[in-house]
Structure 1
């Protein structure tokens, strides 16, 4: 698509630890929704950000780490590209990881706008991981970090153990419900599902 006069500047930011053995070709395919949206013909061609000061999309093979600090001009249809990317990265991720996406209103000028006028800026937090449990773990860790940072203004860290325990309880209950829902979708033990494969398919991604 053409991004001339696109209504948003979209920034994608996050680090994703990758499984041992993941190669550049696999990563290029997983990130294809991003670089094709930017009008590139390959990951190498599309890895550069719209802003020179941003490192763009980097793959550290030695550290097995995907790093993204990348901006592209676009519209709300970019959300579908993000969904496709997350589904693909789930198969390559070593552990759960968060990806921040910010839509900046390219047409909004804060200095010239009327006081009551608001920008169309939007923010998404996406999660990828090899399993639902891995995704929930990183969601839990981020929530604990946010809550503790907020409450430490008023309480000592040692006083917040009960709060953290309650957060853990909520995530445990959510995970139990997820497992239960997956169990309901499974055929009885000893029988095969369609095509001879037993068991329900796990969700590709949660966010």
Structure 2
């Protein structure tokens, strides 16, 4: 049996950590590391700041474990701590880097979105266009206000329910919906600005692009 599957639930591991088990928190973090890393990366916009945000969040969770009340899943609480740590860094440093995010992130996929939703062709030119569109979407996402970006990452990319995201972000459900709506509108505008460069040299007709829909994705593997 691996350390990640030692038989204890997340809640039991957190309680064991509070009681002085020196290995329990490491097992808990290892179990959820990849998905927490994916959220931090998409929220911060680049790997360096994401690593700092994730580290801040895990230190906070380690120190504040005794404050966990059990009124939400441990994973929800961990996401809340990490997202809040990332948002604190964004607000403090005004991080607004617009370089492309790593190519190993999952594509945005949606009907009529900037990223093609159909099956890929074997044409290298088409593959290049798809890659450029993916980079444009991810770069546009990094330019959203921090709160809107966090809501979109959690709801649209990670697939969490609005009610659960409201707990993570410590705000009403209506606020989450509003942030997602404004974020999608702003994202669409940013993508329209980028569209001429993305579509340059593409022979197909340009169509109006609504705010891209996204599918929940598995967490991007964290760096060692």
Query: What TM-score results when the alignment is normalised by the length of structure 2?
Result: 0.26
Higher share of residues assigned helix = 2
More relative contact order, 1 or 2 (CA 8 Å, 6+ apart): 2
Q: Is the radius of gyration larger for structure 1 or structure 2?
A: 1
Higher share of residues assigned strand = 1
